[in-house]
Chain A
Amino acid sequence: MLKYTLIPLLPFISFLINILFGRNYIKDKAHWIAVPAVAGSFILAVSAFFDVLGGHDVNVNIYSWIVSGDFNVSVGFLIDQLSAIMLIVVTSISTLIFIYSIGYMHGDPGYYRFFAYLSLFVFSMLMLVMGNNFLVMYFGWEAVGLCSYFLIGFWFHKKSASDAGKKAFIVNRFGDFGFGLGVILIYLTFGSLEFMQVFDKAGSIAGQTINILGNDVNLITLICLLLFCGAVGKSAQLPLHVWLPDAMEGPTPVSALIHAATMVTAGVFMVARCNPLFSMSPVAMNTVAITGGLTAIFAATIALVQNDIKRVIAYSTVSQLGYMFLALGVGAYSAGIFHLYTHAYFKALLFLGSGSVIHALHHAGHHDEQNMQKMGGLKKYMPITYKVFILATLSITGIPFFSGFFSKDEILWRAYQGGDLGKFLWLLAALAALLTAFYSWRLIFLTFHGTFRGSHEHEHHIHESPPVITVPLMFLAFGAVFAGYVGIPPIFLEHGDRIGEFLAPVLGHPAGHGTHAEEIFVILVSIAVAVLGWMVAYNMYIKNTGLPQKLQDRFAPVHKLLFNKYYIDELYSKTLVQPMLKASDKIILGFDTYIIEGIVNGVPNLIGAFGRKFREVQTGMLSNYALVMAIGAVCIVGIWVFLK
């Protein structure tokens, strides 16, 4: 048992040591504690994975957390196929990113703080993944949100960064509110919060309804939709996606670890974990699928025209998360988790690669270090970063035999099998794949090809990042290329879909059926869109470099709409934030001034008035005090004598 407890505990110990002793004692040696801790977690996670592979599932309660009448919650771990995969993803990527951060954060005044928060994040994420009941999951869910807030606002002296942190936290609250209600409703319905008990009883409440405001609502559907609210917030799906692009204000390793590879996939993990509930509600499943499909295409269109290198990748993340939800929604849970797993590697690689570029430009004295329009021609200065970027891009765009191809194709194929709605979603996803290919290559061409568009002086100072940064990139590149080989479609290799079979005990087999001809058609379409996107990007940014500007002028309103992200932020600002601020200005401020301040100031004023009267007793004349004392003594004696 100790082994499983240590997996989350090691990062937590690292957090405690760094946060308590970091400022005065550890300082820039924080990584000597954090890296071994998380690497230890990784080793234990691998060992746990092999336990599961050998058929040893674990479902154990470690500690009795809340005991209140009938309400019993324990801190307990459930290590099955699903959480084993998540453990591998979380700990392996964390380890690489911790090492990368040694180089990236070198010399930052908050170095120890960075590693402390990062360790806390890993602890929280592992609790989320390993929890065997909804409350432990909810704990992890909120704690990763808190760490996300800490780390987005890590450079809190920058106003944009602290604003982005607040935004992420507040937007996530909207989703988490739904998730919290969902957890409460699960307890009220099933009388337990443990996954296994809830899922066992799920069949017994099929078809039950609950009356809300006069409408009968299917209980399971309601629970699923409430849980999905949380997933929408955490995984940045429409309409709560607005926080993720802003979260790029945080340091790049944070973007890679939290806002690409792990935390944002918590929603996908949660829906997959609750698949026995979701599978019972077609309404909830369709909601998940449609939300995912729309988000995939919506975010991809925004990514087409953004100029900030990290924002492009951020929208790409939103889009890829949409794919995962699409897969979950059509019932292909293992395809969703498979994509989560491959995406973690190539997206972390993209982020860390862009971090390497930003790092190099920053050290060259370039001030607009994230603007791709001010980059170009970095290929010859940063050969390693360039190569790993190419590998990641080949993977994300779904070029055959890179890992992204296998997982994305699995999703497209499962969607295609899902009836009319499925066909429509497949169309959306294929279109999104085309856009993905275009903007991913656009990023490469703008950053690494052509000529440098900054000043000459800066150009001379650009050089490749140190090995502590490039070596983790190479490891991730290995993952980005080969991670997909655990899920080769059966059409290429009999029993190739090892991950699907591995996950089947938890996630089941997808139901759809299709012919070989259809499957080949789907594969050919996805290859075609990947190549087409690459060709269009090549044409626009290498051969015909004037073309983007012409198109921009020609379709100015469209460009403006996309560039301003469909004005969603402005819409929220106008409809939610501004009215809220106005209301608080008028009503709450008035209440504050007259009632709260009336009480707060009135009491001391009253006491002050009494005080001013009584202070005159204090004459400062010693003789007066002595006289009063003498009279007092006489009085006491007099009372004693006469009243006895």
Chain B
Amino acid sequence: MVPLSWYIVLSAVMFSIGVFGFLARRNLLIIFISIELMLNSVNISLVAFSHYLQSMRGQILVFFVITVAAAEAAIGLAILIAYYKNNPTIKVDEINLLKG
């Protein structure tokens, strides 16, 4: 039987990797993947607590998170493609039209 704390640590590690990727990487695709990583790390901790507490609430919430993540990925990729058609780049440091 794997203790709860292992799951929590795994989740925390995954989340930190996601945050790091989100902040440090330049490629927009990688940034998306980092966001997915963060969402899924949260899913892991939700499922772990759900099992630990013998309550289905956490697992139901996971379905919502997956749904939102799918929608977010679809919209994000659509924006990405639309942007790419106009400016052939997906490097975020070159996407700086809002610079003041």
Does chain A bind chain B? Answer: yes
A residues near B, CB below 8 A?
614-623, 626-627, 630
Please state if B100 and A623 are interface contacts (CB–CB under 8 Å).
no
Please state if A620 and B24 are interface contacts (CB–CB under 8 Å).
no
Q: How many A-B residue pairs have CB under 8 A?
A: 35
Q: Which A-chain residue is minimally distant from B19 (CB atoms)?
A: A630
CB distance from A627 to the nearest CB of B (A): 5
Chain B residues with CB under 8 A of A630: 19, 22-23
Chain A residues with CB under 8 A of B98: 618, 620
Q: How far is the CA of A626 from the CA of B28 in the complex (A)?
A: 13
Q: Which B-chain residue is minimally distant from A618 (CB atoms)?
A: B100
Please state if B92 and A618 are interface contacts (CB–CB under 8 Å).
no
Please state if B92 and A623 are interface contacts (CB–CB under 8 Å).
yes
Some 7 contacts from A to B, beta carbons below 8 A apart, are: A619-B96, A619-B99, A621-B92, A621-B96, A621-B99, A622-B31, A623-B93
Q: How far is the CA of A626 from the CA of B35 in the complex (A)?
A: 11
Q: A619-B100, A622-B93, A627-B23 are in contact. List 15 more A-B contacts (CB 8 A).
A: A614-B100, A618-B99, A619-B99, A620-B96, A620-B97, A620-B98, A620-B99, A621-B99, A622-B95, A623-B24, A623-B26, A623-B92, A623-B93, A626-B22, A630-B19
Chain B residues with CB under 8 A of A622: 31, 92-93, 95
Q: How far is the CA of A420 from the CA of B93 in the complex (A)?
A: 103
Q: How far is the CA of A614 from the CA of B24 in the complex (A)?
A: 25
Q: How far is the CA of A623 from the CA of B31 in the complex (A)?
A: 10
Q: Which B-chain residue is minimally distant from A633 (CB atoms)?
A: B19
Chain A residues with CB under 8 A of B26: 623
A-B interface, 8 closest residue pairs, ranked by CB to CB distance from nearest: A620-B99, A620-B96, A618-B100, A615-B100, A622-B92, A620-B98, A626-B23, A627-B23
Pick from B19, B95, B96, B100: contact of A617, CB under 8 Å: B100
Q: Which A-chain residue is minimally distant from B28 (CB atoms)?
A: A622
Q: Which A-chain residue is minimally distant from B97 (CB atoms)?
A: A620
Q: How far is the CA of A615 from the CA of B98 in the complex (A)?
A: 10
Q: How far is the CA of A620 from the CA of B26 in the complex (A)?
A: 13
B residues near A, CB below 8 A?
19, 22-24, 26, 31, 92-93, 95-100
Chain B residues with CB under 8 A of A626: 22-23
- A contact face: mostly helix, strand, loop, or mixed: helix
CB distance from B39 to the nearest CB of A (A): 14
- The winner among B93, B95, B100 for most chain A CB atoms within 10 A is B100
Chain B residues with CB under 8 A of A614: 100
Chain A residues with CB under 8 A of B95: 620, 622
Q: Which A-chain residue is minimally distant from B91 (CB atoms)?
A: A622
CB distance from B76 to the nearest CB of A (A): 13
Q: How far is the CA of A241 from the CA of B79 in the complex (A)?
A: 74
- The winner among A615, A622, A626, A630 for most chain B CB atoms within 10 A is A622
Q: Which B-chain residue is minimally distant from A619 (CB atoms)?
A: B99
Chain A residues with CB under 8 A of B23: 623, 626-627, 630
Q: How far is the CA of A630 from the CA of B16 in the complex (A)?
A: 11
- The winner among A615, A616, A620, A627 for most chain B CB atoms within 10 A is A620
Q: How far is the CA of A630 from the CA of B100 in the complex (A)?
A: 21
Chain B residues with CB under 8 A of A619: 96, 99-100
Q: How far is the CA of A626 from the CA of B92 in the complex (A)?
A: 12
Q: How far is the CA of A202 from the CA of B20 in the complex (A)?
A: 96
Q: How far is the CA of A614 from the CA of B100 in the complex (A)?
A: 9
Q: How far is the CA of A227 from the CA of B81 in the complex (A)?
A: 79
Q: How far is the CA of A619 from the CA of B99 in the complex (A)?
A: 5
Q: How far is the CA of A360 from the CA of B92 in the complex (A)?
A: 78
Q: How far is the CA of A407 from the CA of B93 in the complex (A)?
A: 95
Q: How far is the CA of A615 from the CA of B26 in the complex (A)?
A: 23
CB distance from A635 to the nearest CB of B (A): 15
Q: Which B-chain residue is minimally distant from A624 (CB atoms)?
A: B23
Q: How far is the CA of A621 from the CA of B93 in the complex (A)?
A: 6
Q: Which B-chain residue is minimally distant from A615 (CB atoms)?
A: B100
Please state if A620 and B100 are interface contacts (CB–CB under 8 Å).
yes
Chain A residues with CB under 8 A of B31: 622
Chain A residues with CB under 8 A of B99: 618-621
CB distance from B79 to the nearest CB of A (A): 13
Q: How far is the CA of A617 from the CA of B100 in the complex (A)?
A: 7
CB distance from B70 to the nearest CB of A (A): 22
Q: How far is the CA of A616 from the CA of B97 in the complex (A)?
A: 13
Chain B residues with CB under 8 A of A617: 100
Chain B residues with CB under 8 A of A616: 100
Q: How far is the CA of A620 from the CA of B19 in the complex (A)?
A: 20
Q: How far is the CA of A626 from the CA of B21 in the complex (A)?
A: 11
CB distance from A79 to the nearest CB of B (A): 73
Q: Which B-chain residue is minimally distant from A627 (CB atoms)?
A: B23
Q: How far is the CA of A415 from the CA of B22 in the complex (A)?
A: 104
Q: Which A-chain residue is minimally distant from B26 (CB atoms)?
A: A623
Q: How far is the CA of A348 from the CA of B96 in the complex (A)?
A: 75
Q: How far is the CA of A30 from the CA of B92 in the complex (A)?
A: 65
Q: How far is the CA of A630 from the CA of B95 in the complex (A)?
A: 20
Q: How far is the CA of A616 from the CA of B99 in the complex (A)?
A: 8
Q: How far is the CA of A619 from the CA of B93 in the complex (A)?
A: 10
- The winner among A616, A619, A626 for most chain B CB atoms within 10 A is A626
Q: How far is the CA of A622 from the CA of B96 in the complex (A)?
A: 8
CB distance from A305 to the nearest CB of B (A): 74
